[in-house]
Structure 1
Amino acid sequence: MGEKRFAVLLCAEDSEYMKNKYGGYFGVFVGMLAEEGETWDAYKVAAGEFPEDDEIEEFDGFVITGSCNDAHGNDIWILKLLNLLKKLVSLKKKVLGICFGHQVLARALGGKIGRAVSGWDIGITTINFSSSSKIFSSLQLPALSVIECHQDEVYELPPKAEVIAWSDKTGIEMYRYGDHIMGIQGHPEYTKDILSHLIDRLIQRNLIKDTYGKEVRTQVEACEPDNEAWKRLCTSFLKGGL
């Protein structure tokens, strides 16, 4: 009785490295967000695995992961995900979108997304919380550092959404829609080791140049993301304390 249940909507395939070291991205999110007495389920939406309509009601919240796909694309699974997200929004389910999840959630709400004007953003970025937002005033968080790894961004949000954080490179780093929807462009769940692994994969796929990868590694070595603060923030949002 009273046990909370959450679902992770997995939008990327796990590499062998991620499977072996972290239990895949599902393991990463569970490690960050799960607490005793909760049930966490995974749906591989990028592979066409979605919760049935009667299952949706059983969940207290949903997390949408990052992806190597474009949130502005029209792959069948992305279109199906958009329909699911619109349903979750209408049901006022708690939904936390991370990176690709942040973008596709904004699209589902009626916002505009696409390639980032300033190109790839990879590394550890300081994001600033909006002084006009009352949401985080009690948490006293003027700024936090977060790991970033994206080449797309949210251009514009619907009128009812509130931008709650920005960075020098990205105008919409975080947003809220009502008290049940939140998007985060960065990766609060990532470690520096995970980022290093992703840099290797991006270089191998010729998506970034080796010289840029080296620049990022040098920058990342010199600073740390505020992962514990992000963990508190995300769990507070998902579980009703924020």
Structure 2
Amino acid sequence: MAVTADDVTGPRLLVVEHQATCPPGPLGAWLAEAGCTLDVVRPYDGDPLPGLDGHDGLLVMGGSMDAFDDDVPWLAPTRALVVDAAERGVPVLGVCLGHQLAALALGGTVGRNPRGQQVGLRDVGRTEAAATDPLLAEVTGPAVFWNQDVVLEPPPGAVELARAATGELQAARWADRVWGLQWHPEADAAILDDWARKDAERHLERGLDQAEVLAAVDAARDGLDRDGHRLAAAFAREAGA
């Protein structure tokens, strides 16, 4: 649902949604609360992918496809948007797939996590650089992960903001104003329930107790929402709110 009004006064964000099961969700609501207008495009549903003109920031959401799969016709243009934003100094936030797309666009490599799928509530492993980062300085708690691909090699000059004890790069500033998060600040109970149904057979084969995973996330919900609010407010400020 693209925004076409000419009288938008706050920052206008271009939001790329890759599939219906991975919407901006609460993250979008928190950004709107912080003063942003979201111009959500859904290329999987036929929306054309616009350029950055008229936008103050770019939000690239998650999805189940691989960041390097150019059989998905809008992924290469999305990566090009990230490059354009980096060159213009327009702030970018990539979430999970968006995190991987941004890394790939700027010269990194992405592939399967050799340790397998990350699922559920995990510590993010903040680095010292996160303490002074404009987006992550106040984001302190664990986060929700649901991914099988990771950034294997960061782009040149990237600043690592979080790395798990098991080695996965969980957050980074890929360029001066381009951020990526491997976790899902937008993943509320409804979104997670949808993903759990999709992965039920795979998790059963692994012996993963989905009920236990979802209960742990639910118990941490207050802290997750607090960090999500803080992240959204910080990105809104970067976009000019």
Give the TM interval when normalised to the shorter protein: 0.7 to 0.9
- Pick aligned residue for 1:185 from 179, 182, 186: 182
* Number of residue equivalences: 229
CA distance in 2, matches of 1:10, 1:42: 7
Q: Which residues of structure 2 form unaligned runs of 5+?
A: 1-6
**CA RMSD of superposed structures (Å):** 2.8
CA distance in 1, matches of 2:145, 2:93: 16
- Pick aligned residue for 2:64 from 45, 64, 68: 68
Contact conserved, 1:110 with 1:158, CA < 8 A, in 2?
A: yes
Contact conserved, 2:120 with 2:213, CA < 8 A, in 1?
A: yes
> Does 2:206 match 1:208?
no
Tell me which moved more, 159-168 or 95-104.
159-168
- Pick aligned residue for 1:7 from 14, 25, 29: 14
> Does 2:170 match 1:163?
no
Q: Which has the higher contact order (CA 8 A, sep 6+)?
A: 2
User: Structure 1 residues 169 and 11 mapped into 2: Cα distance closer, same or farther (>3 Å)?
Assistant: farther
Contact conserved, 2:129 with 2:159, CA < 8 A, in 1?
A: no
CA distance in 2, matches of 1:113, 1:4: 31
Local SS of the residue matching 1:175:
strand
User: CA shift at 1:10, angstroms?
Assistant: 0.4
Tell me which moved more, 175-184 or 221-230.
221-230
For residue 149 of structure 1, what is the aligned residue in structure 2?
146
Contact conserved, 2:36 with 2:236, CA < 8 A, in 1?
A: no
User: CA shift at 1:126, angstroms?
Assistant: 1.2
User: Structure 1 residues 72 and 209 mapped into 2: Cα distance closer, same or farther (>3 Å)?
Assistant: farther
User: CA shift at 1:87, angstroms?
Assistant: 1.7
User: Structure 1 residues 132 and 4 mapped into 2: Cα distance closer, same or farther (>3 Å)?
Assistant: closer
Contact conserved, 2:130 with 2:137, CA < 8 A, in 1?
A: no
Contact conserved, 1:48 with 1:77, CA < 8 A, in 2?
A: no
> Quick one: which amino acid aligns to residue 70 of structure 1?
D
Q: Which residues of structure 1 form unaligned runs of 5+?
A: 15-23
Identity of aligned residues (%): 26
CA distance in 1, matches of 2:11, 2:189: 30
CA distance in 2, matches of 1:28, 1:12: 16
